[in-house]
Structure 1
Amino acid sequence: MGKLKTNAHLSDEERHNVLSDYTCHVQKANRQRQLFKDPVLCSKAVCSTTDVTEGAEPCSLDATLHYSWDFAQCVHYPHHAMQVGPIYFATPRKCHVFGMCAEGTGLHESVFLSMMLPGHTKFTPDWHFGVWKIKWRQSDAECMEDIAYTVKASSRSGHNIPQRVNDPSRPVVFLNWKTFLENYFKLLKNITKYYHFRCTADEPGFLICREFCDSEEVRFNLLKARPEAGCLPTVKFIPPLDHLRQWYLYEKIAPFFINEVARDIVCPKPSIPK
């Protein structure tokens, strides 16, 4: 539609072609959206009658379960509802926010992975992000524990559940999946042209792809070697901040803290000389 507004000189035939392309794009996006909605409804129906949070034997439930995930953005801390002016021009600590909406849990016999069309990517995680950001704008947060609290307190029904990387009780562990998978699987060329992927336990190593939800399936055998059962990648450790960044936080950001305990955790004085 933007082309029609910015190009008034288009002929009637060109306008008709632009409108036809736009109509086809919207119809295609609606079909993609419906493909997302249908398994969500099936998964919610399963969760309403079956407790999937207690754990069970792998692949012991004949049902459809759905997961949605998205990267929101990074937020800076320390953060105050009445934000002081000078810190706007500084670079505080960053907290990257990644959301996952689990309409079901467990191990599966088959996995379907679908992507939204560009420009039509608003879905369930964005709703949860929006609920949290309302709380975030009204909150003070000077450390990761404070950020986690704003997430937990943002939804009355408790749907927003924080999960910190360095949580001692439930730590998130990063593994070197890229280098690990390169030993056993081939790269898929032109992968960005596909929006739908499927793999099953019956055909290990095969990836079934579709460009759109109504496109023909294309099969690829990506297996180079079969990994041993139970073999996992090595743990990927997060590197520490370099000393220049540590000194910057200590000198430029630490003065904005109200809580001295949070300040000493987030912006401690570096042990390395400047």
Structure 2
Amino acid sequence: MPYGDIKLLVEFISNYAEVHAISLPGRTPQHWNSNLRLLPTNCTKKKVYDLYVASASPGQKTAGLSLFRRLWKTLLPFISTMRPATDLCWTCQEGASKVAKASNHPEETKSAALKAMEEHLVRVTTERSYLNEVIKRAKGNVDLPPTLGPNGNCSRDFMMHYSFDFAQQVHYPCDPLQPGPIFFKTPRKCGLFGVCCEAISRQVNFLIDEAVNCGKGANCVVSLIHHFFEHFSLGETNLHLHADNCSGQNKNSAMMQYLMWRVLTGRHKSIIISFLIAGHTKFSPDGCFGLIKRLYRRTKVNSLACFEKVVNESSVVNTAQIVGTGPEDVRVPTYDWASYLEQCFRKVKSIKSLLFQILDCSGDIHLLEYSDSQPSVQHLLKPGVTISNTLPQIIRPSGLNPVRKNYLYREIRPFVEPFKDVVAPEPHTNGDVPSHPVRPAALPPASCMPVPSSSPNPGAGVPVQPAPKRKRPKKRRADP
């Protein structure tokens, strides 16, 4: 096949992946390429090949299916189709099951199942394309600063896009050569929350030690987002956010009320927040988390400072921000936003069924089911309320409870010898329960209790007679 035709084939696959693929470096098992691009599970090579043949210009020589597969595998090994196990969408799984079971049903049933499945996939593709388009427009800003930092609110007149999400918590101490006894124990926990700016390929990762953890609810998420905008934003006037579809963390009234508070206090001129369809929520923060986990799995981590070093060294994309090491050392405070904002704003109606919200300085929120739907307007600001710039009351973390401190001291302390006083200090030094609580011994049965006597040896007692043995009944012989 001529070189020019092979080049056109490679460009077609690369352009198709640019539109439809998801970047998850180091995130998917058995795929460790840092530039991995994963296509959705429905994008088979045969489907891409059919589009390639259909898009060929008149007179262009196209490759056969076998040659197409071979060139793809040889020249573009980092572009592959997502394994079915990674597609966690229940709608996709249910739709595929209905299509498979409809093989012996009437044509109307088959058509309905296929149509429902196709509509869902088209909707997912539309929302993913919208996310890629917003990121592309954000990258088009030419006057971006090189790094994240405190640039001042509304100091630059452009739109910027951010994505945020929680990762699965990690534990420390962590040793690639794991000692056997620690396998069944629970080391010290550390939460991981990331806010990614795709325009400059940077992500700030908040490390939340369990001693300062106030939960994963609205107050925690809003407080971390607030700290990011105050200390790491690019100073944009118009803000666009993307998050996953978790109602307990991101998709709730407290988040919408906080974003409206930012607009009304002049921190942004307008804010748009979008939520990905449930089951199809893999996006930029997951790729950055994958880079962290890839280095974390092969690095010995003994303390929170060690994990901070792992995050900073995992890639130039990632930056670590420690939330705190204990109740006395809180660097990112958690505010009671939910109680503070409900005094000024109404709750958003039917928020769980909506994926798109637009907030402006008039106090109105425009609610859309999808990015291309017709909006419905709701006024959030309560009448007669004056918005203040003051921050809510700080929620003080309670720290580790005495039982958890005692557990870390007894079970985890031997495995963190250099950092034992930091990771698992002695509980009784802070007025906690003793490090080795005395457990009452189990009392023997009443029949085995010694009988007190007046003999000079107080330990002596009347010996206990053993219980008589039970006689087995004799078996009767059957009558002849």
Task: Tell me, in whole angstroms, the C-alpha distance in 2 between the residues paired with 1:57 and 1:136.
Answer: 34
Structure 1 Cα separation of the partners of residues 288 and 138 of structure 2: 18
Matched to 1:240, the amino acid is G
Runs of 4+ in 1 over 4 A off after TM superposition: 6-9, 52-57, 167-170
Structure 1 residues 254, 10: CA separation in 2 closer, same or farther (over 3 Å shift)?
Answer: farther
Deviates more, 1:27-36 or 1:59-68: 59-68
**Residues of 1 paired with 2:385 and 2:407: CA distance?**
48
2:255 aligned residue: none
What is the deviation of 1:22? 1.0
Q: 1:146 to 1:215 in 2, by over 3 A?
A: same
Q: 1:136 & 1:199 partners in 2: Cα distance?
A: 39
Quick check: 1:80–1:140 contact (8 Å CA) kept in 2?
yes
Contact 2:149 2:234 in 1 (8 A): no
The residue aligned with 2:283 is 123
Asked whether the 8 Å contact 2:336–2:392 carries over to 1, the reply is: yes
Cross-structure match for 2:298: 138
TM-score (norm. length: structure 2): 0.53
Q: Which has the larger radius of gyration?
A: 2
Shift of the alpha carbon at 1:7?
5.9
Aligned partners of 2:145 and 2:234 also within 8 Å: no
CA RMSD of aligned residues (A): 2.2
User: Is the counterpart of residue 242 in structure 1 residue 242 in structure 2?
Assistant: no
> Is the 1:39–1:64 Cα contact (8 Å) retained in structure 2?
no
1:268 to 425, 443, 454: 425
Q: Which runs of 5+ in 2 are unaligned?
A: 1-95, 200-232, 236-266, 435-480
Residues 9 and 264 of structure 1: CA distance in aligned 2, closer, same or farther (over 3 Å) = farther
Match of 2:377 among 206, 214, 219: 219
Post-superposition shift, 1:54?
A: 6.0
1:73 match: secondary structure: strand
- Which residue does the alignment assign to 2:365? 207
Determine the structure 2 residue equivalent to 1:154.
Answer: 314
**CA contact 1:99–1:125 (8 Å) conserved in 2:** yes
How far is the alpha carbon of 1:171 from its aligned partner?
Answer: 2.3
SS of structure 2 residue aligned to 1:100: strand
Distance 1:273 1:120 in 2: 47
Shift of 1:128: 0.6
**1:146 Cα deviation from its structure 2 partner:** 0.8
* Preserved contact between residue 142 and residue 263 of structure 1 (Cα < 8 Å): no
Residues 42/265 of structure 1: CA separation in 2 closer, same or farther (3 Å cut) = same
Evaluate the alpha carbon distance shift between residue 135 and residue 36 of structure 1 in structure 2; reply closer, same or farther with a 3 A threshold: same
CA distance in 2, matches of 1:35, 1:71: 22
**Aligned pair count?**
267
Change (3 A) 1:6 1:182: same
Higher relative contact order (CA 8 A, sep 6+): 1
Partner of 1:254: 413
Q: How far off is 1:222 after superposition?
A: 1.6
Is 1:174 the counterpart of 2:268 in the alignment? no
CA distance in 2 between partners of 1:50 and 1:244 (Å): 49
Aligned match of 2:159: 64
1:250 partner letter = Y
Q: Is the 8 A contact 2:102 2:110 kept in 1?
A: no
Query: TM-score normalised to the size of structure 1?
Result: 0.90
In the alignment, structure 1 segments of 5+ residues that lack a partner are none
